Structure 1
């Protein structure tokens, strides 16, 4: 306070010097704009200006002028100029205003003033005309580009009017990001207005204002409500006041010290409590009515008085905020205009992109309901839907909900709690609920499931619990990473027995990776078996039942330069396979896979080769041949190895990014990694003399009826990932198949 009292006499002296004419003072607003205050002959409007007699500074100043009272001998009018400048920190000596033929030259005062000091000088010079001068300055500044410092200057100019124009008594937020205000003011006009929201960082916003009568306001005052929509996020607690243009000019309404702040769930009720008393333009009332009908965190669709109901059966959220939603909408009379998925200010319309399904169960459930009784067609039931939605951002704090808008503009809401799952698991759960004979199956796959998987990000699988059941770290040789899903759980004891009977694998480090549930059930038993057989075994758990993901978790958990991969569904046909793979790898490098055969000793896999029809597709040879037909063949270069069993450099796997997590099955998942490794220059080899026995379906993808659907989805994903490349991109794969 003491500093302010000392400033007053100084500003009075400054005003006296200005009134003697020929002197001006500068108030920097920001780095590129000055407020200049002076006195002299009449001047107003856009006037040419020059600083420090430097032609390079020539610009145009926006000037507001007024007649001085009393008038000193040397000056008849005062003026306030908004002067653009390149550098507000440069020394200021002179100012020229007017045309070159008759310029008026002024000398700057020895120091610049803060805006609030400048307003005090302005008040001394303008007297009773101060209000008009301030309004004109703010009008001019609001036409210019605005920044934080310019808005702060406008707030300071507006606050220079004596007293507040009113108070903000309530500030509330909505889930859509709008800020609701309620209070009273003397000059608020109903309608839409461009305002400045005052606070630590003032911002410009659009405000829809409606007014209403109040008996508890001072004379001339009226109640008002407003709905703010700013281009940047606003919080209710940050609002300290409002600058707006009302009757008679720019006004300032401050926040009352006992203001009430409400959150998104309470604000709509406060709007409804006063909305019917207000009047404004139709557009503003429509906005306020919509805000009053905002999401309040509860389900409101079931209370609609029209025959419209909505339900969600499943909503899955992948790690990247991609959503896969299935449910039903019953709207026999076509009241619904749109269905949107919303989170905060982000939204996505669903009803123009979803795939409709037959849901006779929905028809049956509402047949006896009075509201629907005479409206439902017993022959058709197109009530179900499946839809992929993405791009809502990652604002996990904002509630997720469906917004249903009727054609009469009413809205109703359904809160959602998505199940957060890896995209593969979410897609598998969804397709289990789809009838394979459904007429919309093709569209479901192509428009919903595949885009969901493509848009989802799958984190790299990692291990959880680790249990050493033997001297794993002391064992020599590349570790054998064995992946056993729940389907192989019952075969673990004989599998370990086979490894123990082979003199080579008995002394090799073995990392057995299991699904976490299988680990919990079997860890103790497996540890006893490993100790009985004296196997150097390390047991690991992972939150997946996909064997490729289990293998990847094991690869990432180890630090060896070379690893041997083995699916738990495979069994070696003869002992010595491990040593043979290692010795060939030491000679040839790259990735080496043995022959995979069925239990009847017919070939299941004997190399993947570049397809002659497509450079980005792989095909097999010798499938169905007896093993004797290929056993005598030599080590052969192929386009891609089989990752069910192979030996490979660990670093190459990590650099390639591991297995793509979005595939549902195993065939395209392995081919995808094989193509990536081939394109990175890693050679793949087939070793016919080593053979593994196993079934054709080592990976669980759900029921047998879902298998064709899984295959179709993976084919679409593979095609999307490996679209045709420019000429020359596929040469390396073609060379490998030669």
Structure 2
């Protein structure tokens, strides 16, 4: 138990010495409160409770004021009453010379003392003037100041006056941070009134808050005092550690409750335990006791769903935390009798409702696991197995260190919790893992994709690839011509050596600078081997290690960042040239066309067309390569970034390749369209051909591969990057 002082600190008394000389009759002392309120203290004759006040004899500076007056213990012919008036000044920069109060008969004019005083000095002055009427005077002033709770300066002044007049009537010994945003209080005080009331929270910036209090008996506190437990609704305006005390109006006036020097500040996970210990012995209104029970039944870091005495069980399969896109949660909820009212994803005071929009999936394995359980066996008569769920949610507080958990609220107001350990990963990897975990035949799969996977990918923040290391295995900077940037993606390491051999036997590419880009892991594994190949073939090779690269396009972007040239040739490592002279044709054509991007024909190993210009229906795909070889240079909507020659700054100024796509086809199409719309003319050069396979399916099966393409196409459409419906036919004629 925390130590308890014997009593509150002494308050100001009538015998306290004032901060300065008391004002004589006809003189007043001013105390500025904030920028627009002035407390005026003086003596004189009887004065009404409200009057018009004029500052500095300025007829424009007239404002109503409230006045508290009292009869002096030792009156004189010129001063029978003391008074404290609150009036508006309109400006913080004013000097105060005179104040005149209108009253019946004749106005009374006063001259200000030369120096204004602080609120603490004003409290001392009031103690000298008020004598045994100090408490009533301060309470009346506090009523006036707190009547405008939006002004923290007025609240601060009221707190200072109340503390000076009354001291502390007890202590707050424990402050706890609740999961629902409230602050849990525990301590003891005199004049405690169980129930709901408004209080002023004393701190760096005082504020008015609602406080729910319950009282209980304790043996280690002063006689006549009561222990209390309460909840303070602050809406995050102040943390428990920033609270210095509370001020409230008790049965017999304003009271101040200080925070003990040896206070205990509990974190969100510990607060529930303290609330549970207090609520068992506390008494208050039913509504407040219910709120305290809710605080006691808050998340404390443990799983409580499995201990519910109801047929409700839950399991979580995966929780992915994605930068910029929140969370992707999947699992199952078995609730055959509909006891669960809501399911929320929570982190401290932030929450997101999952059950209102989650996708429900067939999970017969969950049914099988609980068929023999007596509490569940009678609930499976309808044969339904839709126990699984997938949900994408975002929490407004961003990336906080507080624990993440699921909160189940039952229809009888009880709550149960499931702690979560999110896996931080890229949105693409989270989506692919989730897709693989779903049965492709589940009829709810399209809904899950549209409502959760696609929004996750669209909202995700892309992490741009970085250049980790650069090693030149040859005279790269001295080589002539635009550099060729080659990406070495997954499964392409064995094909790099033959590609380098083909480049070495072509006289044009043998002299060109070549940047070979691979992930950091492959770089460290292959750097020595690639260096030997560069030396053997006498190539001007630069080896680039790329970080945060998800696919071949990210590797190409990292390679572009490792260059300084104005023009570059991008080449996916899965492609090989069909004939010599391709480099000269691409570079020469691009040099003749300002701000252009030129791509060749892409074909499969069987010489069927894979890419031959960007057309809405991809009309030449599958044709023999000979069917398009004779076409002339043709404008297209977007170039193919698998192989092209382009200005290097065009890619960088466009922000690189977009994130969120599961595959590479529409990811490249996205950037190609953005470049075209940014003013870079795109062309297809049919007379140059590259051979190679298409990208491997990200899902591993043809059905999942089709699903991945469908998702990417929806993302492309959402981003407004879909190809136009019009068509431009290529011109047939002599080769370019």
Cα separation, 1, equivalents of 2:187 and 2:233:
18
Q: Deviations over 1:213-260 (max 9, x none)?
A: 122222221111122221334333332222222221211111223322
Structure 1 pair 163–401 and aligned structure 2 pair: CA distance change class (3 A): same
- CA displacement at 1:557 relative to structure 2: 2.9
Instruction: Give structure 1 stretches of 5+ with no counterpart.
Output: 610-617
- CA displacement at 1:494 relative to structure 2: 1.7
CA contact 2:47–2:103 (8 Å) conserved in 1: no
- Between 1:66-75 and 1:268-277, the stretch displaced more is 66-75
Structure 1 pair 579–267 and aligned structure 2 pair: CA distance change class (3 A): same
Q: How does 1:312-711 map to 2 (within 5 A)?
A: 312-377=316-381, 379-542=383-546, 543-589=548-594, 590-609=596-615, 618-697=616-695, 700-711=698-709
- Between 1:584-593 and 1:455-464, the stretch displaced more is 455-464
CA contact 1:321–1:392 (8 Å) conserved in 2: no
Q: How does 1:18-57 map to 2 (within 5 A)?
A: 20=25, 22-57=26-61
Q: Deviations over 1:61-102 (max 9, x none)?
A: 122222332322123332212211122331111112236984
Structure 1 pair 304–59 and aligned structure 2 pair: CA distance change class (3 A): same
- CA displacement at 1:277 relative to structure 2: 1.0
Structure 1 pair 734–195 and aligned structure 2 pair: CA distance change class (3 A): farther
SS at 1:352's partner residue? coil
Cα separation, 2, equivalents of 1:415 and 1:200:
35
- Which residue matches 1:274? 278
CA contact 2:18–2:128 (8 Å) conserved in 1: no
SS at 2:515's partner residue? strand
Cα separation, 2, equivalents of 1:564 and 1:519:
21
Cα separation, 1, equivalents of 2:276 and 2:199:
23
CA RMSD of aligned residues (A): 2.6
- Between 1:447-456 and 1:459-468, the stretch displaced more is 459-468
- Which residue matches 2:169? 165
Cα separation, 2, equivalents of 1:43 and 1:490:
100
- Which residue matches 1:117? 121
- CA displacement at 1:443 relative to structure 2: 1.0
- Between 1:48-57 and 1:111-120, the stretch displaced more is 48-57
CA contact 2:609–2:624 (8 Å) conserved in 1: yes
Cα separation, 2, equivalents of 1:100 and 1:524:
102
Cα separation, 1, equivalents of 2:394 and 2:224:
52
Match of 2:217 among 206, 213, 216: 213
Structure 1 pair 702–303 and aligned structure 2 pair: CA distance change class (3 A): same
Q: Is 1:236 equivalent to 2:234 in the alignment?
A: no
CA contact 1:214–1:223 (8 Å) conserved in 2: yes
- Between 1:514-523 and 1:546-555, the stretch displaced more is 514-523
Cα separation, 2, equivalents of 1:325 and 1:625:
44
SS at 1:144's partner residue? coil
Structure 1 pair 641–41 and aligned structure 2 pair: CA distance change class (3 A): same
Match of 1:14 among 8, 11, 22: 22
Cα separation, 2, equivalents of 1:96 and 1:424:
74
Cα separation, 1, equivalents of 2:729 and 2:621:
19
CA contact 1:12–1:124 (8 Å) conserved in 2: no
- Which residue matches 1:612? none
CA contact 2:544–2:562 (8 Å) conserved in 1: no
Structure 1 pair 216–494 and aligned structure 2 pair: CA distance change class (3 A): same
Cα separation, 2, equivalents of 1:621 and 1:149:
74
- CA displacement at 1:699 relative to structure 2: 6.4
Structure 1 pair 377–44 and aligned structure 2 pair: CA distance change class (3 A): farther
SS at 1:161's partner residue? helix
CA contact 1:436–1:709 (8 Å) conserved in 2: no
CA contact 1:462–1:554 (8 Å) conserved in 2: no
- CA displacement at 1:532 relative to structure 2: 2.0
- Between 1:64-73 and 1:348-357, the stretch displaced more is 64-73
Cα separation, 2, equivalents of 1:632 and 1:301:
70
Cα separation, 1, equivalents of 2:32 and 2:614:
74
Q: Deviations over 1:116-175 (max 9, x none)?
A: 111111112222221111112112211214344333212211111243200112222234
SS at 1:265's partner residue? helix
Match of 2:716 among 715, 718, 721: 718
- Between 1:637-646 and 1:127-136, the stretch displaced more is 127-136
- CA displacement at 1:384 relative to structure 2: 0.5
Q: Deviations over 1:262-321 (max 9, x none)?
A: 222222111111211111222222221111111112222222221211111111111115
SS at 2:260's partner residue? strand
Cα separation, 2, equivalents of 1:466 and 1:524:
13
- Which residue matches 1:613? none
CA contact 2:698–2:705 (8 Å) conserved in 1: no
